């Protein structure tokens, strides 16, 4: 029973938590945007931008956390653009989002080429180190918890914070109302579009941090295409999680566990007979399947993708 062996191995759980980290950041980011009523398809490009900005900042000599901050700022900048175009101007969220993804990925690639014109092998930085390697020898839970870098812990904290702010604070109530019944928000004298722009900026900042995890913690170099569909998976995870941070977090962990499993199954004798592409397809196929299964139960925010114009409706 190879599967059982894998599931009982500590490195498997450590890998699952590691793979989940960028997904948790970006899924929470997307969830915040969508809760405010804005579908953010810029996610894939914003993650690439965050991966690049974080990496280049550290490569230039800054501290790793400064890199994370710079990545977040770059994400918020693209979030501002997305928010202004989709909220007050009410442009199609599909078109703007895809435009932002193309723009942000291209800006990242362009800036990489301009700053490192002659490089063929992507240079490396010194990435984040595990929080408490001494405790990592604990069976199973040790590696899963303590062999992780601080960004992984930050991801779980962000998930908790997202849930707390959205459900336990007046600001969170206002953000959710902007996505459910904007007219009620406006009747309170609050600015629907202001809330939406703010939510998209914060959400995009988190997406960029998710991207930065890839360069500052997981791979230590920047590659084109390194986001590789993770952003789109996160959009599916938000639906899978029924727009709730707790369920979305669980979804991200499940997805990551499955991803870690397929990598390990490839190396088993049984897996050697199957083309590796089948294993690589599985996570994407699983995302589609999850969407199909959950779609009937999931209730999207009522005003998702509907621009708010004062005096209409």
Partner 1 sequence: MRLEPIPAPGPARRFGLPALALAATAALGSLLALIAGAEPFGVLGLIAKGAFGSKFALLETLNRATPLIFTGLAVAVAFRARLWNIGAEAQLYAGALMAVLIGAGTPALSGPLLLPFMALAAMLAGALLLLGPALLKTRLGVDEVVTTLLLNFIMLLFVSMLLEGPLKDPLGMGWPKSEALAREARLPRIVEGLRLHWGFGLALIAALLVWLLQSRTTLGFEMRAVGENPAAARYAGMPVERTIALTALLSGGLAALAGFSEVSGLKGNLTLDLSPGFGYAGVIVAMLALLHPLGVVLSALFVAGVFVGADSMSRAAGVPTYIADILLAAALLFMSLAILLTRFRVARD
Enumerate binding residues for partner 1 (CB under 8 A): 39, 41, 81, 85, 88-92, 94-96, 98-100, 102-103, 105-107, 109-110, 113-114, 117, 228-229, 232-233, 235-236, 239, 275, 277-278, 280-281, 284-285, 287-288, 291-292, 295-296, 309-311
Instruction: Report, in Å, the least distance between residue 276 CB and partner 1.
Output: 8
Closest CA to 214 of 44, 99, 100: 44
Instruction: Report, in Å, the least distance between residue 127 CB and partner 1.
Output: 25
Instruction: Report, in Å, the least distance between residue 285 CB and partner 1.
Output: 6
Tokens of 36: 């405010």
Nearer to partner 1 by C-beta: 117 or 269? 117
Other Cβ atoms closer than 10 A to 157:
12
Instruction: Report, in Å, the least distance between residue 194 CB and partner 1.
Output: 11
Written as one string, the DSSP assignment of 242-301 is TT-HHHHHHHHHHHHHHHHHHHHHHTSHHHHTS-HHHHHHHHHHHHHHHHHHHHTT----
Let me know if 119 is exposed, middle or buried by CB neighbors in 10 A (0-12, 13-18, 19+).
exposed
Nearer to partner 1 by C-beta: 94 or 124? 94
Nearer to partner 1 by C-beta: 106 or 270? 106
Instruction: Report, in Å, the least distance between residue 98 CB and partner 1.
Output: 5
In the block, tokens 């977040």 appear at: 72
CB 153 within 8 A of CB 213: no
CB 46 within 8 A of CB 191: no
Instruction: Report, in Å, the least distance between residue 63 CB and partner 1.
Output: 26
Instruction: Report, in Å, the least distance between residue 308 CB and partner 1.
Output: 10
Nearer to partner 1 by C-beta: 267 or 295? 295
Category of 225 on φ-ψ map: left (φ > 0), alpha (ψ -120 to 50) or beta? left
Written as one string, the DSSP assignment of 86-138 is HTTS---HHHHHHHHHHHHHHHHHHHHHHHSTT-SSPP----PPPS-GGGGGS
Nearer to partner 1 by C-beta: 9 or 228? 228
Let me know if 180 is exposed, middle or buried by CB neighbors in 10 A (0-12, 13-18, 19+).
middle
Nearer to partner 1 by C-beta: 26 or 154? 26
Nearer to partner 1 by C-beta: 192 or 257? 192
CB 36 within 8 A of CB 174: no
């Amino acid at each position: 029973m190879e599967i059982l062996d894998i599931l009982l191995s500590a490195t498997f759980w450590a890998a699952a938590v590691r793979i989940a980290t960028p997904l948790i950041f970006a899924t929470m980011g997307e969830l915040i945007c969508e809760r405010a009523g804005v579908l953010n398809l810029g996610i894939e490009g914003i993650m690439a931008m965050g991966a690049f900005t974080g990496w280049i900042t550290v490569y230039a000599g800054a501290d790793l956390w400064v890199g994370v901050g710079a990545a977040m700022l770059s994400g918020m900048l693209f979030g501002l653009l997305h928010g202004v175009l989709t909220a007050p101007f009410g442009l199609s969220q599909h078109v703007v989002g895809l435009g932002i993804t193309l723009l942000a990925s291209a800006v990242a690639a362009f800036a990489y080429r301009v700053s490192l014109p002659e490089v063929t092998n992507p240079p490396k930085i010194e990435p984040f180190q595990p929080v408490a390697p001494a405790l990592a020898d604990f069976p199973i839970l040790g590696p899963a918890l303590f062999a992780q870098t601080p960004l992984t812990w930050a991801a779980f904290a962000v998930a908790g914070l997202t849930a707390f702010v959205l459900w336990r604070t007046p600001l969170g109530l206002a953000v959710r109302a902007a996505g459910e019944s904007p007219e009620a928000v406006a009747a309170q004298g609050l600015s629907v579009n202001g809330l939406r722009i703010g939510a998209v900026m914060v959400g995009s900042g988190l997406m960029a941090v998710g991207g930065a995890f890839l360069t500052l913690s997981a791979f230590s170099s920047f590659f084109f295409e390194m986001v590789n569909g993770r952003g789109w998976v996160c959009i599916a995870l938000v639906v899978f999680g029924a727009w709730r941070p707790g369920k979305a977090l669980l979804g991200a962990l499940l997805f990551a566990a499955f991803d870690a499993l397929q990598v390990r199954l490839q190396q088993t004798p049984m897996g050697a007979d199957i083309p590796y592409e089948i294993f690589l397809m599985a996570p994407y196929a699983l995302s589609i399947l999850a969407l199909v299964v959950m779609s009937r139960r999931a209730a999207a925010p009522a005003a998702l993708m509907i621009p708010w114009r004062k005096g209409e409706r």
